[in-house]
Amino acid sequence: MEIVSSYNLIIEFSLIIILSFLFNGISKKSNIPAVLMLISLGIILQYLLQYFTSAQIDFFPILEVLGIVGLIMIVLEAALELELKREKLVPILKSLAIALLGLMLSTWAAASILYYYIPEMTMQSAWLYATPLSILSSSIIIPSVSGLINKKREFHIYESTFSDILGITLFYFLTGKLNPAEDNGIVGFGGNLLLTVAISLIASYAIILIFQKIKSNVKLFLLIAVLLLLYALGKKMHLSSLIIILIFGLVIANMKLFFKGRLSRLLDYAKAHQIYHELHTITAETAFVVRTLFFVIFGLTIAITSLFDLQVALISSLLIASIYGIRFVLLLIFEGKDIIPQLFIAPRGLITVLLFYGIPAEGQVESFEPGILLFVIIGTSLIMTFGMIYEKKRSSKAIDLANSKAVGSVKWKVPSVMENSNDAIGK
C-alpha cells in the first residue's frame, strides 16, 4: 500500500492537525497534556506503518528540522508573553532563581544517577545527557496553566521560559567542552554571550524600525524568515542563537520600555503594536502545527518495548524522584507552603527530545537507552496531570463551600426624627 503519495500525505497531515486540535480540547477539560496523546498517536501510526508497508522511513532529518523550528517558535511565543514591569521584578527574579537552581541541581543529580548506573558513561557525558532531562518544557507548561490564578500562571511562564534558555545555554556550553579547538572556557563563553546580546539588541531595534515602514500586508512570514536566518547564521558563528529570538520577543513585547527618549520618536507605536499582535497570533499557530508534527513523528520513531526494561524503569524512576525532591525543597524555600500545584508542574518535552538528538557523536554513549527519555517525559506529564486535576477539585470544593454559606442578614429599624428629638430634649 502506498503511504507516501502526494494526496495520501495531504490527507494524513490534515487528519493529524484535526486530531491535535481535538486533543487540545480534551486536554483543557481533562488536564491530560496533549503531548501524551500526540506521542500515543505516533506510536499507533508506527504499528500501522509496519502493518501496511515493510519500507523503512528515516524520520530523523524531518524531526531535527521540526525540532529547531519548534524551539524557535516556542521561545518566541514565550518571550512575547513576558511583560517587563517594575512591579514584576521580584516575581521574575524569583522565577529566574528557581529555574537556575532547579536546572543545576537536577542536572547534577541526574548526571550522578546516569554515571552510577550506566558503566560506559563518563561524568562529562553524564552531564551532557542529564541536561536535556533537567529542562522544563514550556511547550507543555504554558498551555496547561492558563486556568491557574494570575500569580501562579505568570510564575510558570517565567520559570519554564528561563529553564529553556538556561538549559539550552548549558547544553551548548557542555558540547563545546567536547571539542578542545572550540572550547574557550567560561570567560570565552561569557564573552560570546555578551556579544550575542549586543547583536540581538541591535538586530531587534533594526527589525522593528524597518518592518513598521513596510506597507505590504504579507510581511509576517518575512519577519519569521529573518528570525530563522539570524538564528541559523548565529549557529554558524557559534553564538547563543536562541538569545537573539528571546531578546527580539522581549523588545517587541515591551516596546515602551526599550524605546525611550529620542528612540521613542523613531517608533510608530500603533504600527509596531499591530505587528506584535499579528506576530503573537501567527507564532502561536505555527508553534501548534510544528509541535503537533514533532511529537507525532517522535512517537513514530521510539521503541515502545524499551519502557518495559527493568533497568530503564529503575533509572527513570530515580531521575523523576530527584526532579521532584529538588523541586519540593526549592519551592519550599522560595514560595513557602503554598506550592500546590507548582510542585507537580515540571514536565519534560520538546526541548528534551531535541537536545538529546543534538548530542555530538563524540559525546554519545551506545548503552544509553532512549526509553529513559520517553519514560521521564511520560512520567512527568502524568504527574502534572494528577496535580492539575487535584488543584481543579480543590478549587471547586473551595468555591462550593463559599457558595454554600448563605450571607446573613440583620433587621434594622430606622430611628424616627421624633425619637431623636425626644432623646436630645431628655439630655
Concatenated DSSP letters for 29-42?
A: HH---HHHHHHHHH
Q: Does the structure show a pLDDT above 70 at 427?
A: no
Q: Is 133 exposed, middle or buried (0-12, 13-18, 19+ CB in 10 A)?
A: buried
Q: Does the structure show a pLDDT above 70 at 4?
A: no
Secondary structure of residue 16 in the 3-state scheme:
helix
DSSP assignments along 362-421, one per residue:
GG--TT--THHHHHHHHHHHHHHHHHHHHHHHHHHHHHHHHHHSPPP----PPPPHHHHH
Q: Does the structure show a pLDDT above 90 at 100?
A: yes
Higher-scoring residue by pLDDT: 271, 190: 271
DSSP 135: S
Higher-scoring residue by pLDDT: 245, 127: 127
The angle at the Cα of 75, spanning 63 to 278, to the nearest 5 degrees, equals: 105
Provide the residue ranges of all domains of the chain, joining segments of one domain with +: 60-422
Of 70, 350, 83, 84, nearest in space to 224 by CA:
70
Of the pLDDT bands very low, low, confident and very high (cuts 50, 70, 90), residue 332 is very high
Of the pLDDT bands very low, low, confident and very high (cuts 50, 70, 90), residue 402 is low
The residue behind cell 514584576 is 88
How far, in Å, CA of 252 to CA of 254, rounded? 5
How far, in Å, CA of 42 to CA of 304, rounded? 11
DSSP 107: H
Q: Does the structure show a pLDDT above 60 at 423?
A: no
Q: How confident is the model over 358-366, as a mean pLDDT? A: 86
DSSP 108: H
Architecture of domain 60-422: Up-down Bundle (1.20)
Residue range 265-298, pLDDT digits in tens: 888 888 888 888 888 888 888 888 888 888 888 8
The grid coordinates listed for 211 are 518592518
Residue range 16-47, pLDDT digits in tens: 999 999 998 888 887 788 888 888 898 888 88
The H or E element spanning position 208 is: helix 185-211
- The pLDDT of residue 422 is 54
Q: Does the structure show a pLDDT above 90 at 315?
A: yes
Q: Does the structure show a pLDDT above 80 at 238?
A: no
Mean pLDDT of the chain: 83
